Structure 1
């Protein structure tokens, strides 16, 4: 299996602090059946920078450490890019990494409590340059939760989204879980990924997440999400079913 969103690199953001912790996290991934991880350290985050060249170097060093530790996981370099107005210029400078080398996909994070006004125009400009934005964990964004039609418009205009295993399993709260299910039901998300940071509160939960996905939505959805990760890894077009509006439910989003 492929995990397209993971903070596994040591000492670069709010993931593992040491190489030993990163290797333990990789062992958990291997035990869960994960074979490929796209490392997505925070970039242009208020607390973390992680430029493209630095991530490339760190991933190369970490893959060597994985081989020496006899852990059968391969890590690809990318970033979880905080939305910012100079993103296109930073892409041209090589500071922003797509999901895989030569890929057209970018993993983009919004602030938890807002959607910048320029987001729609920036997504349009990115798509004009041949890039497809993937919105990380929209189920945890206050604006999307209160106004899911904003997310619907973005997906209808070509954006993709990725929900988190811990959201689907209920570890981030019952309301986040319910909103995640509503997004899947409305064809407003296309990937399931771990966003793993550590072995404690934010592990992979890959097997559990896919088990819940199967129980609620059936094996066809499991196959679709897994295949989309493979298609992304090979820079092919992912499956996008026609998006539908989400019906807001009373008091569903009181957790913000």
Structure 2
């Protein structure tokens, strides 16, 4: 089981504070059935430091050389616009693949989706498959689930974060996430782990058998 969204890198964002915590998260991931992890530190303020994050990846892979890690980023749309899409997208996609994990604003409105769609189309023209991180957190989608379908119609894949089963990071994600699962809108479930408990949530989802993903796109725990 491949976890495509994890803040397991040590000391670079609001995830693992040090390598000891990273290794504790790794043990929790293994217990949940995870067999490979894409490291996706935040590309947004106030955390982003490209060089430091790549150095943290080297530290983690040296500390756990037998576990398959891949480097990537959780790329905030506003930060990507500030950095410059043409220059930075090639540096921020998931290494060894054409996947690009894109984060929208949690306070976005329906009007913002015009900008998001332009960015998504630009990324796709560069050859990327855009994965939209945790749509259940975005206010506009919470208010109108058809916006999630707009993303799918554009060719995006949607990724649910495992913490929705306990209400979510922002406390209001469970209802929209459950509705999106019932509509089979998600292609992926990921830990979005910042601490070991998030892997416990991922393990509970995997074991529950209650949530369905789009069958053609399953890559992490499908319970169909």
Identify whether the pair has TM-score above 0.5, normalized to the shorter chain: yes
Give a deviation string over 1:157-206, Cα, whole Å, max 9, x none: 11111001121x23428852221121122232100000010135x44422
Distance in 2 of aligned mates of 1:204 and 1:140: 20
Greater helix fraction, Structure 1 or Structure 2: 2
TM-score (structure 2 length as normaliser): 0.85
* 1:223 shift after superposition: 7.3
- TM-score calculated relative to the size of structure 1: 0.75
Partners of 1:190 and 1:133 in 2: CA distance: 12
1:71-117 C-alpha deviation (Å, 9 max, x unpaired): x532111000001322232125x3x2x2232x111001111111544
Separation in 1, partners of 2:214, 2:32: 15
Structure 2's unaligned 5+ residue stretches are none
How far, CA to CA, are the matches of 2:215 and 2:62 in structure 1? 31
Matches within 5 A, 1:105-254: 105-114=99-108, 116=112, 117-167=114-164, 169-172=165-168, 176-200=173-197, 202-212=198-208, 214-217=209-212, 221=213, 227-229=218-220
Alignment partners' CA distance in 1, 2:48 and 2:144: 30
Aligned to 1:20: 20
Partner of 2:60: 62
Q: Which runs of 4+ in 1 moved over 4 A?
A: 221-225
Report the Cα distance in structure 2 between the residues aligned to 1:222 and 1:27, rounded to whole angstroms.
Answer: 29
* Distance of 1:157 and 1:4 partners within structure 2: 21
Unpaired segments ≥5 residues, structure 1: 231-256
* Distance in 2, Cα, partners of 1:185 & 1:179: 10
Match of 2:67 in 1: 73
Aligned residue for 2:219, secondary structure, equals helix
8 Å contact from structure 1 (residues 9, 59) kept in 2: yes
* 8 A Cα contact 1:30 1:73, kept in partner: no
SS in 1 for 2:49: coil
In structure 2, how many angstroms separate the alpha carbons of the residues matched to 1:151 and 1:223? 17
